Structure 1
């Protein structure tokens, strides 16, 4: 009985019973009007799930009762409760149109026996008040939902900041320290060791690579601990040029300039990661084709390369990280064999001007 376990259903059921008791005390539960009173009261149990239908049924039953019996003000209490709920309806025609019609119809029906003041005006004022109270309650509910969403976002941002700080601490305590020790030892070997010219060249190359790695680690630490906007990584053009010099063959110049700026950095990372993987797993001479399609609400990037030998099982950290980032934004990234080669298909959600370019 899931309906009885719903926290909102129990108050509605209690309200229905209370209204039934109230009408019974007022003498409404006579045998002649039992069906109409039941139609007035019973739908209130599902008023939150079907606010429009409940208001329509309750209003029709109430009008029939007011026009066929000697009416009392207590007889239209079910309509007031339904009017209180109807501002939660999704359709404006239900909230405004049906709500206004219900209030006007019940007020007109009360005019017959109560007159224009005690009947029409009083009933209309009470109905409008019930509707306004429901609209105010709905506004507060929307504000609470927005506050809960903002609180969740702040909590996620705080957790992300804590993870960045933890990652920075690990990089500092392990990789940066180890790289520094290696550089110190290499410099000592270069200064006091008896090395040939070829060995000295090798040590110099090792020192240059170590200093570059240490600089990148320090730059990464600054980015992780920077609460502001992070500086961009290496330009995609420079990455592709370096890979091309190492043997990657890009068949045509990709139309990356059409990608909106708001997602350009993420798109560059996807292309860069796929290009690096193509060269790493297939060696010099591998051919890479890049297709870009810019749609009104997304950017689709398709990268395909030749496949040599057996594909490496599983996915690397780079693609996994990008896939998780895209999934968090409502996008997707798929990688796998396709047409005798390997393909990476990424969909980045955005709001962009429609334009299309392939390869």
Structure 2
């Protein structure tokens, strides 16, 4: 319910913000006397409404309109604002060609044009520096947006994995407890009956077959649960590989994940731990993650940490409780500019 209400509200707020910005630019153009050609002024301002959806196209249109307007005698500094806004949006693009090539071409073209009107220093150099600052701000904004998207995706993946793991464990325990208990009672009662009652040889043979079938059924239940654990661990490994690829795309340096040769329940936990530690590294501004293995001890270091980073969250506390239930231990904390998570797995 909340998400259904929030998204339209966000869209409406963004639309009003864009319209207000367009109105503000229009007023600045009119008050400052910037406009030499009304159609060119419209071509500079109107496309900005679509700069988030089509940043490359908007930058091309606005930059061309600004260049022509400059040649017609537009000399007010405010006339560069639409091009700066378009450049800022294009610099945040995920496309390397748009972010570097197109933005550089537009910034240089406008700076050179301004240099011919105002001189190399007051025109060209000042414009180049101004466009450079705007470009850097746009690149930073785009990087932060991609990191937030990666973290949101990672959080959703981790939540789904935890829910699937909890549900699988609940069903497995229920299956084991109910079937194993029922079959065990049947076996005990049948075994007692076999030793206390008097049977003819054919009936005793039938009782022995019942006991043998019960023991086989109990073993098959345990094998089925072990197989379920193995398939869940393999699926968790595939999910972890895709999750780490997303974090690498967001800028986090993550090496290959080591192989600890753990049994299925612990192997699934290991995948969850690596995913949580890597996600936390990116969330707290880290640039890299490193793994170290010594026997059954895994250390995951990440960094560099900022001055305000240094406390474990709910994810690590939950993982520590899970590993303790398996007979292991999980410790984590700050070590200088590194954050270190150390897991000791049971033998």
Range of TM-score over shorter length: 0.5 to 0.7
Match of 1:27 among 33, 40, 52: 33
Q: Which has the larger radius of gyration?
A: 1
Which residue matches 1:72?
Answer: 76
Which residue matches 2:305?
Answer: none
For residues 217-269 of structure 1, give each alpha carbon's deviation from its aligned partner in whole angstroms, at most 9, with x where no partner exists: 34455666799958xxxxxxxxxxxxxxxxxxxxxxxxxxxxxxxxxxxxxxx
Which residue matches 2:58?
Answer: 54
Which residue matches 2:125?
Answer: 121
Alignment partners' CA distance in 2, 1:87 and 1:220:
54
Alpha-carbon distance change, 48 to 3 in structure 1, aligned in 2, over 3 angstroms: farther
Q: How many residues align?
A: 227
After the TM superposition, which of the residue ranges 43-52 and 200-209 deviates more from structure 2?
200-209
Partner SS for 1:71: coil
Structure 1 ranges of 4+ moved more than 6 A: 223-228
Alignment partners' CA distance in 2, 1:140 and 1:165:
37
Equivalent residues of 1:70, 1:113 under 8 A apart = no
Q: CA deviation at 1:78?
A: 0.6
Equivalent residues of 2:111, 2:128 under 8 A apart = yes
TM-score, normalised by the number of residues in structure 2 = 0.59
Stretches of structure 1 that go unaligned for 5 or more consecutive residues are: 231-359
Equivalent residues of 2:111, 2:124 under 8 A apart = yes
Which residue matches 2:315?
Answer: none
Equivalent residues of 2:34, 2:78 under 8 A apart = no
Stretches of structure 2 that go unaligned for 5 or more consecutive residues are: 1-7, 235-347
After the TM superposition, which of the residue ranges 157-166 and 92-101 deviates more from structure 2?
92-101
Which residue matches 1:259?
Answer: none
Alignment partners' CA distance in 1, 2:95 and 2:228:
46
Alignment of 1:35-114 (within 5 A): 35-89=39-93, 91-114=95-118
Equivalent residues of 1:16, 1:45 under 8 A apart = yes
Equivalent residues of 1:165, 1:224 under 8 A apart = no
CA RMSD of aligned residues (A): 2.7
Equivalent residues of 1:44, 1:82 under 8 A apart = yes
TM-score, normalised by the number of residues in structure 1 = 0.58
Match of 2:138 among 128, 134, 137: 134
Match of 1:181 among 179, 185, 198: 185
Alignment partners' CA distance in 1, 2:70 and 2:85:
17
Partner SS for 2:33: coil
Partner SS for 2:119: helix
Q: CA deviation at 1:116?
A: 0.9
1:208 aligned onto 2:244: no
Equivalent residues of 2:103, 2:135 under 8 A apart = yes
1:165 aligned onto 2:132: no
For residues 8-57 of structure 1, give each alpha carbon's deviation from its aligned partner in whole angstroms, at most 9, with x where no partner exists: 4443333222222222332224xx52111111101000111111111111
Alignment partners' CA distance in 1, 2:54 and 2:150:
23
